[in-house]
Copies of this chain bind each other. A is one copy, B any other.
Amino acid sequence: MDIKQKIEKANEEAAHRLNMGDPVLVDIAPAQEVIPGMQGKMITHSGPPIEWQRMCGAQRGAIIGQVIYEGWATSIEEATALLDQGKIRLEPNHQHQTVGPMAGTISPSAPVWVVENKTFGNRAYCRQVEGNQQFGDYSEEALQGLRLWRDVWAPTLRKALHTIGGLELKPIITKALQMGDELHNRHTAASSLFANAMAVAMAQTELPKDKMLWTLKYVTNHELIFLGLAMASGKAIADPAMGIEYSTVVTAMCRNGIEFGIRVSALGDEWFTAPSPKVDGLYLPGYTAEVAGMDMGDSAITETVGWGAFTIGGAPGILSLVGGTPEEALAYSREMKKITVTTHPTYRLPALGFAGTAIGIDIRKVVQTGITPIIDTAIAHKDPGYPKIGAGLVRAPLECFKKALIAFSRKYDVGK
């Protein structure tokens, strides 16, 4: 076999593994109980590795909030001092089989979704989506969302989930993609389907009535609750595709608001980075592009496994949030097929004549065509302490793919 054939074969294997992914929600547990290496005064964050001093405003804000939430400090100043002194260990989520939306911060007592990829037996974790704390907002109101998850919603859902012995997510994802969700920023259908499953689970579980009702009301009215589940699923699906010799398939895309990073199967856990791009978006009243932070979050794991903007043609409902026309949305979904290895046999889009979703980004195709992965995402403020300010579309920087391809060529001694 020549190198090209070896790559094709490896990519087929990577695509096969991605397509075989079978995510099941197996637990909702405090991070310190389940995330490998999560202990002590430690906070994990979204994106490629970055030190506290270089972090963007929103991620700093979220980390400050998380320090206060854990009770390690009682004020912003005190929290900042601890961080400046390096008293809090900061590590990327992806280093811990974990992902988190926006700033993506997770601390030991914070409950996370635990998703197992039944086919391969690996697990992945994601933080809850509870409000604005993950955007860098450290107000009392923002932190209250974290506390309620820890004290009320997570323990209640956890008990109910144990009653039913876990919840298969593939059927929910399959259905939601046919109901106008793209599973990055629009989770209206998946969240409703998930809420129904949990309602049945809760009804079969001995629970204090007040907490049960509170949780049921919260879950049935939380249109974004599935984001954390989609992300944990994406990570659980993508991880088994890592480390296949000769494979040029992307296994992670993430951003910390300063850098955009990708991982490539054959290149293991190395990050190939470029500056985080500016999101082309629509802004909430009172905010403009001038105060916007750069692209941020591990949520592009959804695009990595073929959802998000890759399936936006089937989710025109999101256009009121991110801008654009239904025709453009369909064009994005079609375009992504030019840079992917295959389409998914189960995840299908009715608006594209039930075509499978484009999956398995090939860095060669990206560099050859110049077509970079499209991502639809939320927008955070450039400074700490703010809630969500908008949403929009962004392209992964070509630079990451070029760097990865150079590293690949070096590793396998591919001639020019």
Contact = CB atoms under 8 A, between A and B. Distances in A.
Contact of A220 (B197, B217, B326, B352): B197
A189 to B, nearest CB: 5
Interface residues of A, number: 34
Contact of A217 (B192, B195, B200, B354): B200
Nearest to A195: B196
A196 B179 contact: no
B199 A317 contact: no
A3 interface: no
Interface in A35-54: none
A5 to B, nearest CB: 37
A325 interface: yes
A110 to B, nearest CB: 26
A251 interface: no
Interface string A215-252: 01100110000000000000000000000000000000
A203 interface: yes
A80 interface: no
A353 interface: yes
Contact of A179 (B202, B220, B317): B317
Interface in A157-202: 175, 178-180, 188-189, 192-193, 195-197, 199-200, 202
Nearest to A196: B220
A316 B179 contact: no
A234 B216 CA distance: 30
Contacts of A319: 350, 354
Contact of A180 (B180, B320, B353, B354): B180
A288 interface: no
Contact of A352 (B216, B217, B326): B326
